């Protein structure tokens, strides 16, 4: 008989030892305390208790959302990587960075909470809550714990990265790239600081995006990310 059991404040499944091994993704019939039954999908094996084994319950994935063409956002990050090791952009209630080569999908966007609020699973300090990722094809896959409405923000950001960055700064009085308060009136007017403007290849003050140090990189990077999007399209 398979029953529900609470382990560390989380509902899990208690399975009898079986000669036929259970597997992740398998649908099972669970006997409830009132004698009724329901079905659940096995997540991962958690532990063995001697006469039983404990498995997590697989949750139905949340609906994905198409947020549009990411090439503008990717171009910002491509420019920034020449100046910063871990460029990130903070918008309303979340933070975006580009997944590195060791990620499940390198080059996708990782979306997290802003502050480090969650203990790391590996016991190494605190981490930001994972809100999901945006694939290179522009599909937002929210995590189970992601707040609602992030897909909508991401769509606006993809459509006009520089505009959204500027609006965030004007609205909150701090730069979306480095989170520092905007003090200079030119920074307040444009919505981000001069250093970050240079790092991300954006206009600031009297300077424009056509500044010599920036202009050769930006169009090429846009072209490159569009080319890789097309390669992905062909592959899919
Ligand atoms: Zn800044």
pLDDT in tens, 173-202: 999 999 999 998 999 999 999 999 999 999
pLDDT at 227 over 50: no
Beta bridge partners of 15: 53
Instruction: Show me where the domains of the chain are located.
Output: 3-57, 65-230
Please give the sequence-ordered ranges of beta strands (E in DSSP) within the chain, or none if there are none.
Answer: 3-7, 10-16, 27-31, 37-48, 52-57, 65-66, 89-91, 94-98, 109-119, 126-134, 139-142
**pLDDT per residue over 83-123, tens digit each?**
999 999 999 999 999 998 888 889 999 999 999 988 776 67
Span from the CA of 194 to the centroid of ligand 1 (angstroms): 7
Span from the CA of 236 to the centroid of ligand 1 (angstroms): 37
CA 76 vs. chain centroid, Å, equals 17
Across 165-179, average pLDDT:
95
Span from the CA of 174 to the centroid of ligand 1 (angstroms): 8
The predicted pLDDT at position 235 comes to: 41
Span from the CA of 187 to the centroid of ligand 1 (angstroms): 9
Quick check: 79 and 221 in contact, CB under 8 A? yes
Task: Look up residue 171 and give its two tokens.
Answer: 């609205």
Check: pTM over 0.75? Answer yes or no. Answer: no
**pLDDT per residue over 58-88, tens digit each?**
887 789 999 999 999 999 999 999 999 999 9
Span from the CA of 226 to the centroid of ligand 1 (angstroms): 27
């Amino acid at each position: 008989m398979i029953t529900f059991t609470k382990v560390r404040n989380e509902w899990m499944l208690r399975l009898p030892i079986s000669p036929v091994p259970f597997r992740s993704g398998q649908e099972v019939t669970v006997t409830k305390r009132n004698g009724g039954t329901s079905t659940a999908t096995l997540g991962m094996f958690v532990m063995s208790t001697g006469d039983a084994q404990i498995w997590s319950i697989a949750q139905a994935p949340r609906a994905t959302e198409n947020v549009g063409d990411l090439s503008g956002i990717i171009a910002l990050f491509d420019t920034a990587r020449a100046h910063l090791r871990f460029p990130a952009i903070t918008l309303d209630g979340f933070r975006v960075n580009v997944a590195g080569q060791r990620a499940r999908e390198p080059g996708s966007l990782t979306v997290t909470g802003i502050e480090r609020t969650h203990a790391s699973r590996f016991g190494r300090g605190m981490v930001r809550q994972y809100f999901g990722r945006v694939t290179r094809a522009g599909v937002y896959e929210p995590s189970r714990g992601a707040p609602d409405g992030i897909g909508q923000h991401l769509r606006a950001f993809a459509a006009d990265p520089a505009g959204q960055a500027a609006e965030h700064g004007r609205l909150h009085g701090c730069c979306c790239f480095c989170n520092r308060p905007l003090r200079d009136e030119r920074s307040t007017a444009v919505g981000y600081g001069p250093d970050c403007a240079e790092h991300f290849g954006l206009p600031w003050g009297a300077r424009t995006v056509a500044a010599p140090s920036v202009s050769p990189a930006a169009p090429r990077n846009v072209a490159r990310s569009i080319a890789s999007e097309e390669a992905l399209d062909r592959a899919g």
